[in-house]
Structures are given as C-alpha cells and as structure tokens.
Amino acid sequence: MRTDHTESDVINGSFHQPSDSEVQRWMSSAFNMAIEALENGEVPVGCLLVYNNIVLGKGRNEVNETKNATRHAEMVALDQVLEWCSHRDLDPKEVCKHTVLYVTVEPCITCAAALRLLNVPLVVYGCKNERFGGCGSVLDISSGDLPDTGTSFKCIPGHRAEEAVDMLKTFYKQENPNVANPKVRKECVSPAGGTITTHTEAAPHEDDVKMAVSD
C-alpha cells in the first residue's frame, strides 16, 4: 500500500495514481454498495470517495426511495463528503481536489458535472454507462471545455467491468418492485441512470411510449 499524498502533491495539485491494491480494495467496497442497492430494488451502482486513505463518503443509488431522479450513488456519497468537511470547517473543493471516486459504473452526465463542480480529479470505474455516461459514452463531460463548470478529471475505466455489467443485467431481468403493472419490458443492459421505472412503467404519455420502445 502506498503512502498518503505528500505535501508537494498537495501543493502542486498533482495526484498520485492509486496502486493496484488500493484500487482493488476500494472497488471491492464499492461493489458491496452496489449489491446493497440491488437488494433494495435500486439500480446496482455503488461508490466510495476516498481522501488520504480515508473513506469520506459511500453511496448507492437511491432514486426510487427518495423519488428524486438525481439521487445517484455519487451524489449520495458527495453529500457525506460535504458533511465531513462542514464538521471540520474545511473547504469542500479543497478536500475534493485530493479525493478519488471509486464507482462500479461510469458516472452519468449529471454526476460527471457534479464531480467537476467539486474539483474531484480522478474517477476509477467499472463498466461503461452506454445510456447516460458522462465520461465519454454519451458526452465527455469529464474532459470537456467547460471553464464555468469546475475542473476536468481523469478516468481509469474497466475495473471488474463484466461483474458490474452482470449486476445491471440481474437488476433489469427482475421485476421492478416499484411498478406494479409493467407494460413494456426490455431485455437490455441499461446502466445506472436515474429511473429504472422508465422501462417498465405503464406509459400514459406518448413520449414515454416512444422512449420505452426506442430504448
């Protein structure tokens, strides 16, 4: 295991690449969070925010239980980091500048922008997010030219990607407990986004029908 960032790392704003053992350790914890999401009827995405070898935030998708489509694992974990900072009277952006996100699925466009706004410099993730991905799959927000939207960040993709995909597949195969009367079902892999109910929801609205069919 490597040591914490040195003083000069912090001063230069540079960032050490996490070692293989660090990646394995934190990602395995992120996968546990994803399993927890799965057990709670949420899209199986889990993540950790790690600062100086300390886990400042842990999160899993909780969109269905909060009825807020932005409650992705990353947003939940970021809230914990903010709280940690506020207890210590630290500037969250300064702390986030030295924090790595470990997440089972590529962050969506919303989360990628949020990570930029908080200056998180590095994201280690499992599988791609073909439907909503903000680190290249749909848009590349992570390295986009957005001077008014925080700072860009680097990504290390592909850690246990197949496993992350399998979990999503498992989720999309099972009945969505939040929708009693699914009208449309699709056997497709649809990573983390907001609202799983899209696929199975009874679709009264024309757009919804179109959306479900085109998924």
Give the footprint of other proteins on this chain (CB under 8 A).
65-71, 75, 78-79, 82, 92-93, 108-110, 112-114, 116-118, 131-132, 134, 138-139, 141, 144-149, 178-181, 193-195, 197-198, 201-202, 204-205, 207-208, 211, 214-215
Nearer to other proteins, 46 or 134 (CB): 134
CB of 67 to other proteins, least distance (A): 3
Nearer to other proteins, 23 or 179 (CB): 179
CB of 2 to other proteins, least distance (A): 29
Q: What angle do CA 173, 126, 172 make, to 5 degrees?
A: 10
CB of 45 to other proteins, least distance (A): 13
Helix or strand holding residue 136 (H, E): none
CB of 65 to other proteins, least distance (A): 7
Q: What are phi and psi of 16, to 5 degrees?
A: -80, 140
Catalytic residue from among 62, 74, 106, 201 = 74
Annotated catalytic, 74?
A: yes
- DSSP-derived secondary structure letter, 192: S
Which residues are marked as active site?
Answer: 74
